[in-house]
Homo-oligomer: A and B are copies of this chain.
């Protein structure tokens, strides 16, 4: 990718801040402008090295942007894409980092100008922490970024989005927005739902007796409530399906326990163990792998 001119990052938290840091660390853009709602936080993000300068005015933030990255909460992404597309140069690429894609793509497609400029993206990294203070320039290194162009997205824009996210260190995968939402319901949203279920299922008095399996299994339950409420709502159909599949697995275990069916318990565990081994085997090498 040739060096970019101005990149505007709208929403400078963990995600936007990490994108800004990666752009700046790699010298990938002439300038990184952060757009937010709170000047104090933007100043902090600048002091952390996440952006070159900040503004609370979207219009001035994106006015000469070559790329605009929308990193606001998932329920606000579509509206922010449409507003940014209206205010940015017609030639700009607009992309996002939202955790769901179907409803965002559908909403953006209603506005022809935005639809031509937008390539939906989901860089698959994050943290149970939020805020620019936890941002890291290497958050996306060796991580998968799923692009979900629609049938009407110009191919040239998709190529620019591929180059942009690749430059941040991502491995690019393309699929449709609906398929994306089905996949992440299982690979990301279900693990979060389970972590939260586990955390609240254990009586408070017994927490001091919980060890490693509980700690690892509940880590992401510490994540931000508003963020995950919004993601769950945006993806509630596929997530309900994924939760149902998980409930089937638990019911199978319960039945095997009830009947004390040793062979079924063994096979139930072995299936899971084999799938987990397959996951390990397919992990790419890399610092985040």
Mark A residues whose CB is within 8 Å of B. Answer: 124-127, 143-144, 146, 173, 183-184, 186-188, 190-204, 206-223, 225-226, 228-229, 232-233, 236, 239-240, 242-247, 249-251, 253-254, 257-258, 260, 262, 265-266, 268-273, 275-280, 282-283, 288
Q: Which residues of B contact A194 (CB under 8 A)?
A: 194, 197-198, 217, 250
B211:A186 contact, CB within 8 angstroms: no
Q: Of the candidates B173, B245, B272, which one forms a contact with A196 in the assembled complex, judged by CB atoms under 8 Å apart?
A: B272
Additional A-B contact list (17), CB under 8 Å, known A200-B275, A201-B246:
A143-B211, A173-B209, A187-B206, A188-B210, A191-B216, A193-B253, A194-B198, A195-B213, A196-B253, A199-B272, A201-B249, A207-B279, A225-B266, A225-B269, A232-B253, A233-B257, A243-B253
A239:B213 contact, CB within 8 angstroms: no
A217:B216 contact, CB within 8 angstroms: yes
A223:B275 contact, CB within 8 angstroms: no
Complex A-B: 14 CB contacts under 8 Å: A126-B212, A183-B206, A190-B201, A190-B202, A191-B216, A195-B213, A196-B269, A196-B272, A199-B273, A201-B242, A218-B272, A222-B277, A233-B265, A243-B250
Given contacts A249-B201, A250-B193, contact A262 B208 (CB under 8 A): no
Nearest CB in chain B to that of A271: its residue: B200
Nearest CB in chain B to that of A227: its residue: B269
B202:A198 contact, CB within 8 angstroms: no
Q: Which residues of B contact A271 (CB under 8 A)?
A: 200
CB distance from A233 to the nearest CB of B (A): 6
B214:A216 contact, CB within 8 angstroms: no
Given contacts A187-B214, A214-B188, contact A254 B265 (CB under 8 A): no
Nearest CB in chain B to that of A213: its residue: B191
CB distance from A158 to the nearest CB of B (A): 19
Q: Of the candidates B218, B245, B273, B283, which one forms a contact with A279 in the assembled complex, judged by CB atoms under 8 Å apart?
A: B218
Nearest CB in chain B to that of A208: its residue: B282
Q: Which residues of B contact A266 (CB under 8 A)?
A: 225-226, 229
Question: Please, how many angstroms separate the alpha-carbon atoms of A285 and B197 in the complex?
Answer: 26
Q: Of the candidates B125, B197, B276, which one forms a contact with A249 in the assembled complex, judged by CB atoms under 8 Å apart?
A: B197
Nearest CB in chain B to that of A248: its residue: B201
Q: Which residues of B contact A202 (CB under 8 A)?
A: 186-187, 190, 275, 279
Question: Please, how many angstroms separate the alpha-carbon atoms of A202 and B194 in the complex?
Answer: 13
